[in-house]
Amino acid sequence: MPGDEFDIIRQHFVRQPVVREDVLLGVGDDAALLLVPAGAELVVCMDTLVAGVHFTATTPAAAIGHKALAVNLSDLAAMGAEPAWATLALTLPEHHPVWLADFARGFFALADHYHVQLVGGDTTHGPLSVTVQAHGFIRNGKALRRHGARSGDRIYVTGTLGDAGLALQLRDVANEGLRKRLDYPLPRIEAGLALRKYASAVIDVSDGLLADLGHLLEPDELGARIDIDALPHSAAFLEAIEQPGPGPHPPYYELPLSAGDDYELCFTVPPPHCAMMEQRLGMLACGCTAIGVIEQQPGIRCHHRDGSDYPPASHGYLHFLDE
Ligand code: ADP
Ligand code: MG
């Protein structure tokens, strides 16, 4: 592999769609030289996708390239950052030019869309794994964080929830819409940028709404009330659950609470900002939905629109917590 490494880098990762002026030196030297704009903070995050854990043998290489960058851009979105650069550590079991070309195509299509330049990386031999580090900018002191929510703030999510989780469960069922949400998640960059003006706290939903909302509440020892009937479902989600068959487990209406991988943003907004925020995010394709409210009492309580508790007190727990 060492002999191949330079060929791989030259063939797949040197030429790329984005050339930024703030990159003084990109791929090819011992390290990259990058310019951070005056008055901005550098926002840095990293995520790894491991074969057999985060994707399977049937996941298209283009999807792996897309998702490796997308999950990082999602973290930048949750900070309100504007994406700029990425580095890529690739561990490959073999030199497979077609796989690499597809991988690079998926990676660079998304990089191009958000004007992200790949400025370096590492290429090694071993079990397939992909690590991306993404870098972005935020004006000094303006980053959106996981803490900052206050009792009375409204809770919102962008887009729809549960799609990726249902796609994982229905692996063998052909549902293009769900499949696409799992393989090609769309980072909510535009929403993150817009939320800098309105949100008190933001997190991206990678592990499931309840788990990630929990991370928003913990730092300030707050609680939340969630209207389970308000959780946004996609058309593909509703179509899939109407098909005859055993149906997903946990029941579909709980999937948006427990399933991860949707990469939507979950955020809180003080009531005086809600109307303006809703108008602003309503202009984006993903939109946003109000799903609940922050409360002083710690813990997450779910209820139906008519006010009745969910699950009913006699039932005890949500299904997925029973397992
Ligand atoms: P070094 O031995 O100095 O660490 P490498 O031989 O690993 O350098 O890499 C040579 C150049 O290619 C460096 O600029 C590095 O950042 C870049 N590079 C290596 N692998 C990748 C990759 N998968 N994607 C993008 N750039 C890469
Ligand atoms: Mg070197």
What are 164-206's pLDDT values in tens digits?
999 988 876 678 889 999 999 999 999 999 999 999 999 999 9
Atom nearest to 31 CA in ligand 1: 14
Cβ proximity of 27 and 144 under 8 Å: no
Ligand 2 ion: Cβ-proximal residues, 5 Å cutoff: 30
Query: What's the pTM?
Result: 0.93
Residue 108 Cα distances to 37, 59, 206, angstroms? 24, 17, 22
Exposure string of 64-99, with b = 16+ CB inside 10 Å and e = fewer, is bbbbbbbbbbbbbbbbbbbbbbbbbbbbbeeeeeeb
CB atoms within 10 A of CB 288: 24
pLDDT band at 323 (very low <50, low <70, confident <90, very high): very low
Ligand 1 pocket, mutate which of 92, 100, 122 (most atoms under 8 A from CB): 122
Q: Quote the ligand 2 centre to 16 CA distance (angstroms).
A: 22
Q: In whole angstroms, what is the distance from residue 69 CA to residue 114 CA?
A: 11
Residue 223 Cα distances to 87, 197, 219, 243, 320, angstroms? 38, 24, 11, 36, 20
The region of weakest confidence among 15-24, 74-83, 233-242, 291-300 is 233-242
Q: Quote the ligand 2 centre to 75 CA distance (angstroms).
A: 29
**Closest by alpha carbon to 278, among 132, 126, 157?**
157
Q: In whole angstroms, what is the distance from residue 122 CA to residue 218 CA?
A: 36
Atom nearest to 120 CA in ligand 1: 16
Nearest ligand to the CA atom of 100: 1
Q: In whole angstroms, what is the distance from residue 231 CA to residue 159 CA?
A: 10
Q: Is the CB of 162 under 6 A from ligand 1?
A: no
For 97-156, write each residue's pLDDT tens digit.
Answer: 999 999 999 999 999 999 999 999 999 999 999 999 999 999 999 999 999 999 999 999
Q: Is the CB of 9 under 6 A from ligand 1?
A: yes
Q: Burial, 256: exposed, middle or buried (Cβ in 10 Å; 0-12, 13-18, 19+)? A: buried
